[in-house]
Amino acid sequence: MAKFELLAASAMILLSIAPAMAQTATTSAENAGPTNGPGQEAPSTPSTSTQTAAADTAASAYASQDIVVTAQRQSQRLQDVPIAVSAFTADTISKQQIVNPSALQQTLPNVTFTKTNFTTSSFTIRGIGDLCVGATCDQATAIHVNDMPLVTTRLFESEFFDLERIEVLRGPQGTLFGRNATSGVVNFITAKPDLSGIHAAAEAEYGNYDSKRARAMINLPFTDTLGIRVAGTYLNRDGYTKNTYDNSKIDGRDLYSIRGTLSWEPTSDTRVDLIGYYFREKDNRSRIQKQLCHRDPTGILGCLPDRLANETPNGNSTLAATLASTQYFGIAGTQLGHPEIAAIGLQNLYATDTYAGVVNPGDVRTVRIDSNPTYFAEEEQYTAKIFHDFGPVSFNFTGGFSRNTVDSTTDFNLAVENPLAANVGLNTLNAIGRPGVVIPLPGGALVNTGYLNGVRSVLIPNGPAGGACQSGADPNNVGVFGGNGIGCYAQSLDVDRSRQVNRQYSAEAHIDSSFDGMFNFLLGGIYVDSRSQNTDYFVNAFGLDYASGVLGAASSAAIPGVNGNAFLATPFYRNDGDDFRLKSYGIFGETYFEFNDKLKLTLGLRYNHDEKDVKARNITLNVLTPIGASNMTQGLNYTTTDFDSTRAGVQEYALDKVSFSRLTGRAVIDYKISPDNLIYASYSRGYKSGGINPPLPATFSVPTTFTPEKIDSFEIGSKNTFGNGALRLNVTGFYYKYKQLQLSRIVARTAVNDNVDANVYGVEAEAILSPIPAFVVNMNASYLHSEVSADKFLVNPRDPSGGRSDAVIIKDLQSAANCAVVPTTAGNIVGVNTYVGAVNSGLGLRAPVAIPTTNTTGAYSLCSVLASTAANPPATLRALFGVPTGALPYSVIDGVGVNIRGGKLPQAPTYKFSAGAQYTIGFGNGMSIVPRVDLNYTGGFTASIFNQLVDRVQGYEVINAQVQLNGAEDRWFLRGFVQNLTNNDSITGQAVGDQSSGLFTNIFTIDPRRYGIAAGFKF
């Protein structure tokens, strides 16, 4: 790899172009329509691969002609726009095999893309992506389709088709585009009807993984003023990943999209576009490619914090294990007056765990799982665009409605646990959980265990050998105890489910002047109303069902009429986001002062107001509910269960509301040295509203809300064309000063967000070289430096000790989270271990043990008991430590915070570059053949703000190649292609699991090598 990088870098130096820039394209059709002055946005007109003239035989597609963009809400040559913007037309999208967002980011400087944990993704620009996680987070990178902002979208899961162009603006945007965006804007402009004639195009592709892809378009004018365009795409392929458990292939795709556009152009000054779009996917796509872990033999952490390996977490570190353990049942049973349930604990935390001996295949594309993934997504968009040119001013309106839904399940631990048939606790339950059974307690007393009959009948109706029955992700919150189970299996099936439904209304209008003098303006406003419902995340496991049933039975054994036939709902983990509403409006404008034909000043302002309301709760084993209930609301203590500890009284949900208002703006001065050389300098203030963290138990010190983030951006740039288009070179330098950057971390199985300050600076450039018309080379490269600029102490979930040798890490039996016990006087190692050992002895638990690869110790215990005992110690402990009065010198905290100041931001590679070359060989009969190769390299980066060795992700290269034979006048083509030629399995992102799941690391990878053939026609 090092030799490969050296050769690639040398090639770039020999071409005498360091960093590099955007892709250009044909514009003869794009320049059609009304003449536009400053501030005017031309109605979109077709510029697609179906209308590209033969060959792009010269540098036509890349060099000698200009692409027209609307990055500043007016039709401008890309080279005249004083913004760092990259643009791709349909032709360049096809040539560079940009079929989805992952391929798009490979061709852009300082841009990365990765899938993330919860059916989402992150499009990161200049080190800033969706670092904030949760329903109330705004996007850092704003996504627009035909200028309509989308608060949530499934667009990044679909395939690109029939696009006029894609524009990617780097840097904060607000005075021109929709809602505020701190990192940039991606605007997808779809192809519109061409009223000049009938056109059609279609292509079919077949490749490895039995991949079948098809695209088609028909353009039909009814009259010379009214026409329609319909386009669609379809993809069906086998999975990239093999599941050795059932020899199936998973991570396949089965999707289609269709778009229809009706355009009316009664005069050259007026155009109305009505656009409808529908997308649907239903397949076995996996949200996660692989889980990695260096196994922790103690179970206190689950995975050790030193490195990633192809191992599984220690199952004793999980919530399903601790809640259903012999140790926790012993403590809880004593409190409930039923100490006998210790004998039916599902797991002994000091014995072999349920993942012992489980194999995690070494190949990234191979897993062994007992629950194959399911994926369903659907989206529809309806947009109306109206343009009218009044002469001195023009009017643009974009309004629309969108709705999307996603519902996905996956094997939570990507492993097959050991069978339960011989489990001691389960067999004991089967023996004693029957009417009339009486057993002796250790002290000699007798107890009737018939109250366990209900839970036994539900969970093991045919005995342990007949399978353990468990819950599905049930929105009614009763699971298997209310008849909503997924079946009975030999082992626990640990499955998670992520879902959401969103709908959005938006309306935006702006007027733009085209005066003859030096002064022009743009003035606009936007309103967005977005609502997300059923934003839920479930985790199901038999251990949770078991704890729910046994603890519920013990809690209700003495209740008349219930007699133990109750469970604790929910019998699974559920982060229940019932409703989230966003209402946002903005007023924005810019003024343009053209002092002469060379010098121009742009001044812009924006006022933004955001209101957010959320209704949510966190549920796991909260409500004592009769077996057979159809809903948790029938629970015996439902009306007295408080789901919001931050508000007085009993709350059914945590209800929170926040609002934010900010004034932002930008100033740009640009100077044309010549018609082909532009320099500019700009300052802009970016803003992203704050939000509300999900509700958590009061024991976790997490703020209810997080504040807005602010960015001051300084940028200088130069756009240049040399040799009549033979060379284009655009270079940009930037410096960002972030305040209160939003940053996510996992606490108690939930994503919460903090704020940090950061500085980011870098250089990027894009270039196109065409020394002869038939030969075209496009390149880009970037350098990025990012760092946290102020002191910020956060607990690293991988190591709650913060590296302190005098801290003891505790695995809390009730929450499976970690806390840390530290001395109030640093360095008292012996005292801390002695204190934890003494408290644990009274709980029937063991003293701390050393955790490998760390310099600290750990133990199973109850954090609340350790904290209360330290604050109010019994006489025996006072005597042991020689403290006659007051608290003992020990504190129990969530973890020891480490200062992240100076650390790099996640997903921010220092270096990135790409280069592509194509050569057109023409024949006398009008046919041509075009070979092309593209090399993309993304440098190494850190996947976590903590910048540990375990967080480092190696850089990777992607090589794509194709050869296309074009018919005369480009009426047909035949193409052979390969993507990811070297078939690497490089990681694009990582996500650390929660402490209650064992701290495994989910990884997300690029697609494997794909190859195939495609053929198409157009007229």
For residue 928, give the nearest of 63, 201, 54 by alpha carbon: 54
For residue 791, give the nearest of 743, 742, 753, 758 by alpha carbon: 758
Q: What is the mean pLDDT of the chain?
A: 89
Q: What is the pLDDT of residue 700?
A: 64
For residue 975, give the nearest of 932, 1019, 922, 912 by alpha carbon: 932
Distance (Å, rounded) from C-alpha 131 to C-alpha 133? 6
Distance (Å, rounded) from C-alpha 1016 to C-alpha 522? 43
Amino acid occupying residue 507: A
Confidence of residue 101 (pLDDT cuts 50, 70, 90): confident
CB 469 within 8 A of CB 456: no
Distance (Å, rounded) from C-alpha 128 to C-alpha 140? 7
**Residue the block writes with tokens 């271990």:** 833
User: What dihedral angle (degrees, nearest 10) is formed by the CA atoms of 359, 365, 368, 370?
Assistant: 160
- Per-position DSSP letters for 935-968, written without gaps between them: EEEE--EESSTT--GGGEE--EEEEEEEEEEE-G
For residue 285, give the nearest of 253, 261, 259 by alpha carbon: 253
Q: Which two tokens stand for residue 109?
A: 């400087």
Would you say residue 50 has pLDDT above 70? no
Pick 704 or 254 by higher pLDDT.
254
Q: What is the pLDDT of residue 426?
A: 97
CB 863 within 8 A of CB 810: yes
Q: Where are the beta strands (DSSP E) in 432-490?
A: 438-440, 446-448, 468-471, 485-489
Are β-strands 921-922 and 911-919 bridged in parallel, bridged antiparallel, or unpaired?
Answer: unpaired
Q: What is the pLDDT of residue 17?
A: 32
Q: Find the range with the poorest average confidence among 55-69, 433-447, 470-484, 842-856.
A: 55-69
Query: Distance of alpha carbon 40 from its chain centroid, rounded?
Result: 36
Confidence of residue 704 (pLDDT cuts 50, 70, 90): confident
Confidence of residue 261 (pLDDT cuts 50, 70, 90): very high
Q: What is the pLDDT of residue 5?
A: 39
**Each residue of 884-910: pLDDT tens digit?**
888 999 999 989 999 999 999 999 999
User: What dihedral angle (degrees, nearest 10) is formed by the CA atoms of 564, 570, 573, 576?
Assistant: -170
Q: What is the pLDDT of residue 753?
A: 82
The stretch 49-64 carries a mean pLDDT of 37
Q: Is the dihedral of CA 185, 190, 192, 197 positive or negative?
A: positive
Q: What is the pLDDT of residue 58?
A: 36
Exposure b/e, 633-662, CB count within 10 A at least 16 = b: ebbbebeebebbeeeeeebebbbbebebeb
**Residue the block writes with tokens 């970690």:** 818
Would you say residue 1 has pLDDT above 90? no
Distance (Å, rounded) from C-alpha 211 to C-alpha 235? 7
Distance (Å, rounded) from C-alpha 710 to C-alpha 664? 9
* Alpha-helical runs (H) found in 114-266: none
Crossing angle of helices 863-871 and 829-843, in 10° steps, is: 110
Would you say residue 644 has pLDDT above 60? yes
